[in-house]
Structure formats: structure tokens, C-alpha cells
Amino acid sequence: MKRAIKAKYTPSMSDRAVESKTGRTWKQWFALLDRAGARNLEHKAIATLLGKKTPKIGGWWCQTVTVEYERARGLREKHQTTKGYQVSATRTLAVPLRLAFGAWTDSKLRRRWLPTSPIAIRKATPGKIIRIGWDGGKSSVEVRFAAKGARKSQLTVDHTRLPTAAAAARMRSYWKRRLERLDAVLET
């Protein structure tokens, strides 16, 4: 049996929203899963169970309902995945996309706003995405870029495979500060 995590639960979407897309409220989904013994199953088994019992809702909704069930029953913490913890930070910068992307790929410029960063760029698709190994590959960072007109760019940093909830909280704060610093550097 899984160890229960004590956490306050708040669904990521309303009953009305989930019912409009799946035909059931959270209470109905959780009752169905409780009856099926989902409290004693791993994540993949719960999602598979949902797919067999309710094939019309599709894979995305099976995953969403599974995660919400695990959170509601204290089996998963906020930001927890099957491979650790994940956090995100987003910022819109008043610079063209090429400059925002270059701030990550130009090591000299990167040191001005992300000093002593333990990164190894694994893959970079100009103007779209950068995949990074962080801290010797112990965790991963993915940076997605989107143009918001000719002179604005939106960056989303996803940091995954973090070992603990505390590490996730630290990295979320870290990325918010680093993106603020990036904004200041690019403004000058």
C-alpha cells in the first residue's frame, strides 16, 4: 500500500469544468476509483484502469483524473510526478525572440544573469526550445520560447526530476529570480 502524504487538496479545475468534459464530477470520479481499489495502485495502473472503465474520455483525461485522485487521497503532493517533482516559471520579456533565445545559448551573456549555473545544453531548436541537463544530469530543464509580437518574447522554464518538494520550492523561487535578472540584463 502507498504511504499517504498529508496535504491540503484543491482541485486544479472546477467540478463544472471536469463534468462538462468527462460527464462526471470530481466526487463521482473519486468514488468510482475508490470502489475499484485505486488507493492501492500505482499511477500507471490507475490511469490504465480509467482507460478500461471509461475509454471515451481519452488518455489526457485519464491522466488528469488520476493525478487529481492521487492528490485528493494524499498519494501525491503538488508538483510531484512519477519521476520526482516539477516546477515552472514564466516571464514575458520586452525583447525580440532571437535576443531572448540568445541569452540562453551565448555563454558570455548567460553568465551575466545565470552565473555559475550547472547546465549542459542537450538540444536547442532556435527560437523554440532548449533542453538542458542540470547539475550533472540530476534534473532537467526545458525552456520554451514564444513570440508575443515583434518586440516581446515569452519564456517558460520547466524544471523536472527534482528530488523533493523542498527542492522544487527552492528551484521555483530560483527561476523566478533568474528570469527577473534576465529581464534586467536584456533591458540594458
Look at the block and give the residue holding cell 523542498: 166
Look at the block and give the residue holding cell 463534468: 19
Contacts of 15 (CB under 8 A, 6+ apart): 25, 26, 27
Same-domain check for residues 87 and 179:
yes
Residue 29 grid cell: 470520479
Contacts of 69 (CB under 8 A, 6+ apart): 29, 30, 33, 38, 46, 75
DSSP string, 140-172: EEEEEEEE-SSS-EEEEEEEEEESSHHHHHHHH
Confidence band for 17, pLDDT divided at 50, 70 and 90: very high
Q: How many Å apart are CA 70 and CA 66, to the nearest integer? A: 6
Q: Is the pLDDT of residue 3 over 60?
A: no
Same-domain check for residues 98 and 166:
yes
| Three-class SS state of 129 | strand
Query: Within a domain: residue 3?
Result: no
pLDDT at 12: 83
Q: How many Å apart are CA 164 and CA 168, to the nearest integer? A: 6
Same-domain check for residues 93 and 29:
no
Residue percentage of the chain with pLDDT more than 70: 96
Beta bridge pairs of residue 85: 80, 162
Q: What is the mean pLDDT of residues 143-169?
A: 95
Domain total of the chain: 2
Q: Is the pLDDT of residue 145 over 60?
A: yes
Domain end point (choices 76, 96, 121): 76
Same-domain check for residues 127 and 179:
yes
Same-domain check for residues 94 and 144:
yes
Query: Within a domain: residue 131?
Result: yes
Beta bridge pairs of residue 146: 154
Same-domain check for residues 130 and 170:
yes
Q: Which of residues 185 and 7 earns the better pLDDT score?
A: 185
pLDDT at 78: 81
Q: pTM to 2 decimals?
A: 0.74
Residue 178 sits in a domain of what CATH number? 3.30.530.20
Domain that holds residue 181: 81-187
pLDDT at 8: 61
Same-domain check for residues 66 and 134:
no
Same-domain check for residues 58 and 106:
no
Q: What is the mean pLDDT of residues 87-105?
A: 96
Q: How many Å apart are CA 89 and CA 75, to the nearest integer? A: 25
Confidence band for 92, pLDDT divided at 50, 70 and 90: very high
Q: What is the mean pLDDT of residues 74-92?
A: 90
Question: What are the pLDDT digits (tens) for 131-141?
Answer: 999 988 899 99
Query: Within a domain: residue 4?
Result: no
Q: What is the mean pLDDT of residues 103-110?
A: 94
Q: What is the mean pLDDT of the chain?
A: 91
Same-domain check for residues 58 and 87:
no
What's the sign of the alpha-carbon dihedral 154, 99, 170, 43?
positive
Domain end point (choices 49, 76, 103): 76
Confidence band for 2, pLDDT divided at 50, 70 and 90: low
Q: What is the mean pLDDT of residues 15-39?
A: 94
Q: How many Å apart are CA 69 and CA 82, to the nearest integer? A: 14
